[in-house]
Structure 1
């Protein structure tokens, strides 16, 4: 099924049910009509059937409306990260060759700067507040006001490209990931089943739409006739207000957002919350236990996947097995193979051994290959399998435990060590707010296991350093081989726009040191 039809059919079933929550609510009938007008507007502004449109908006309902309108217009939606650099944005725009770039007041200067770097830039259209529209820039809202109140006369197909997301450029140029209507529809269905998302569920729509988690929350709400409560930009206090006043029942967030919400006791007051799910990064058992104690959810799911294939595995027992990634999802098939970069899909590791996770591209959730990147295809796709570059081991129950990236594995003194195992042990320290383990160069060991720590705000950096080092030695349960050789207190852990840890920045030395055991006198 295509997503335009999915929205229209939900509207037929529940025209008067609230589709959008928050301060500017809309019923399904109102949102369906609004997205039809915006689809007409996209055509009127030059985004014809089969073309692509870049959406550089902060988030919330305006961006969601444009994304759904693009589905009806048979236009590929390209929501790009608002935290991208100018040169990187120029590359993405030039790479996807869009029919237009829609922008709001929050990103106008960034986009203008990027378009100036492109030899033949696409047209710019305004999608922000009408009062802030620059002179001479066509307005999507004005075009929508002129549009007829009719269904857009196009017929999207299930194999049309619904959306193209660009993956992070931390290891090179960003890669475009085209996803079809069918893949997006199957991924939304899988999300409903795997998280226990019921009909009419109220979800917090704060994950950005340039990330697959944000799209999944939105589309799952549409398919289940639920209420999507937008938050354009994450703020913990505002999110807690929305959770309480809108009686949010389902949360699908990255661990760093849960951590921020847990800094206030108010999350425990949210009796409406029954479903917790997370993805994008590992969650420490300590944070998982705190969430269970505060919320008492009916279901707590660890979703492990990627932009390329939405679901690899699902861990539905995060209450009893915190951090476990579980088993292959509803539409998924996985294997653990030799971590060697040249390993074939048949080189499956023996039971109980750590291997690289690969996922079958026969999944209806899967993409078919990167946009204009045969080099990336050659690296990640082999014999019908997608190589995730993630390491994992299956326990005696057959459940998967992800233990970091192949590239993040630390070889210290000839031994392969896995950062996440050490992080989980150190996170139990009461003096730690966040901790990330990465490799740093070492003359004796080759690579040193290094713990980067954010301490409690009230503690001096030197105190945090001493207490965590003592905890690792006396209470963490880590053998000497796995204990960090170096401890560094930093003011913050580098993260992407959606809260993913950027471990490679730490490895590359891109951090501000507050205290360091390699320095004789920590600050």
Structure 2
């Protein structure tokens, strides 16, 4: 199946059903006319079948409509992050070699600067407003290229680059369709689902929400930039039934409304992209009593690795392989064979079958990167995990993030799951910093809760760790920051901290921190009640 055909069938079935929510709603027939007009406007600029169209857009409905227009034109959508730096943007534009680049008023100046680099191929650059004016005058006929084939490339997403330069991940129409079907099955999605479209389209979660809404003939409610207060209003006004977000967004919604009392329409929750602390999962279950609460573990390369289908029962559990996939744990060694399967209960590295219809075929122009991560028909994302007595998966962390302290391996996610419950903290991330004695010192970077002084937060973290964590996992240094460095989709950028690129508000390594009372050390649930914390997905 290709996405242009899937789109046409939905429009044919429900032309008058609401397709786009928010302050400027559209029916499926209206959205069909808009995306067809944009496809014609792109074709007038010379876009042909298989050409790349780079979308450097803030988000919202214009970005979604252009993404869909590219599908109808059998072109390749290349949505790029609006938060990457100049050098990364130059790299992505030079690597993708787009025929057309589309920007908006917020991104045009940056795009002009990057697109002028000598390494970027000749192209056409247009503002989205110009394309929209051209689309309004487009003929009322199908786009000129004809429907794409299932094996044609639909979209090329760039990995977030937490460990180096972003790599292009081309994904076919068939893979995108299979991933959207899997998403609906695995999250309990229903026909007519109303979904918040706030995850950016340069990330697989954002694309998945959009395409799954098309297949379900539901309503996609756009939000160009996440704002908790605005998101809450959209939930109420549009009757949103499904939220698929990263954990930081759920935290923000709870800070906006601790009871989520107005979220009565929301029945299905899902998360990915980063770890969800058990404390957050418990608060969401208590506030919403969702019919479905799913932990999705996957990546840009293969959308689904595994699904934890019941977060309420097993917070942090990554569950079993997805409906279209196979997964196994093999020896945690470089170049390990996919046949080197570890025993029950032993920690291993995750290997996912490339036979999944959700899988990519290899990185764009990077056979070296493909060879490093794909071996004998299995994809190795670099995650470590263990299975429990029920056979369910618990992800222990990234091989890249593992801390070797005094000859022992320590995993940041387990420590973060304990420290995040400290009442004096709003956020926490753990990384290993170089240390003469330990090799790597377990270091907690914390953001003080509102009204808490940085030194007090540092001292509270130290005391909390002494109560909640075994000695090996206790931070040897605590640093207070204004904010934890994260990517546009909430992925923690530990490499920034390891490189020393931070400005401490307070630092236990710089001298004694203020004392705090023992009354702040109680925790309703110890982190030891959960075998592992799940560090997220879509890397």
CA apart distance, 1:84: 1.4
**2:97 — aligned with what?**
97
Greater shift after overlay, 194-203 or 437-446? Answer: 437-446
CA apart distance, 1:146: 2.8
Q: In structure 2, the residue corresponding to 1:371 is in which secondary structure?
A: coil
Unaligned runs of 5+ in 2: 515-539
CA apart distance, 1:462: 1.2
Q: In structure 1, the residue corresponding to 2:427 is in which secondary structure?
A: strand
Query: Aligned to 2:228, which of 229, 236, 246?
Result: 236
Q: Distance in 2 between matches of 1:328 and 1:360?
A: 10
Deviations 1:278-332 (A, max 9, x none): 0001100011111111111111100000000000000011001111111100111
The yes-or-no answer on 1:403 pairing with 2:396 is: yes
CA apart distance, 1:119: 4.9
**1:133 — aligned with what?**
none
Q: Distance in 1 between matches of 2:119 and 2:426?
A: 47
**What RMSD, in angstroms, separates the aligned Cα atoms of the two structures?**
1.3
- The higher relative CO (CA closer than 8 Å, separation ≥ 6) is in 2
Q: Mapping of 1:258-277 within 5 angstroms?
A: 258-265=250-257, 267-277=260-270
The yes-or-no answer on 1:191 pairing with 2:183 is: yes
Q: In structure 2, the residue corresponding to 1:513 is in which secondary structure?
A: coil
**2:374 — aligned with what?**
381
Q: Mapping of 1:171-320 within 5 angstroms?
A: 171-265=163-257, 267-320=260-313
Contact 1:452 1:487 in 2 (8 A): yes
**2:321 — aligned with what?**
328
CA apart distance, 1:267: 2.5
CA apart distance, 1:120: 5.7
The alpha-carbon distance between structure 1 residues 305 and 119, as it changes in their structure 2 partners (threshold 3 A), is: closer
Q: In structure 2, the residue corresponding to 1:84 is in which secondary structure?
A: coil
**1:499 — aligned with what?**
490
Query: Aligned to 1:345, which of 321, 338, 346?
Result: 338
Deviations 1:43-65 (A, max 9, x none): 11111112111111111110111
Deviations 1:191-229 (A, max 9, x none): 000000111011000000000000000011100010000
Q: Distance in 2 between matches of 1:200 and 1:125?
A: 36
Contact 2:93 2:120 in 1 (8 A): no
Count matched residues.
512
CA apart distance, 1:503: 1.5
Contact 1:57 1:127 in 2 (8 A): no
Contact 2:90 2:120 in 1 (8 A): no
CA apart distance, 1:370: 0.2
Contact 2:459 2:513 in 1 (8 A): no
CA apart distance, 1:172: 2.1
Q: Distance in 1 between matches of 2:379 and 2:344?
A: 21
Contact 2:108 2:127 in 1 (8 A): no
Q: Distance in 1 between matches of 2:261 and 2:125?
A: 43
Unaligned runs of 5+ in 1: 130-138
Contact 1:514 1:522 in 2 (8 A): no
Query: Aligned to 2:137, which of 143, 146, 149?
Result: 146
The yes-or-no answer on 1:117 pairing with 2:117 is: yes
Query: Aligned to 1:482, which of 473, 482, 495?
Result: 473
CA apart distance, 1:269: 2.0
The yes-or-no answer on 1:362 pairing with 2:358 is: no
Greater shift after overlay, 413-422 or 190-199? Answer: 413-422
Q: Distance in 2 between matches of 1:171 and 1:47?
A: 33
Q: Distance in 2 between matches of 1:357 and 1:38?
A: 41
Contact 1:125 1:140 in 2 (8 A): no
Q: Distance in 2 between matches of 1:88 and 1:151?
A: 36
CA apart distance, 1:122: 3.3
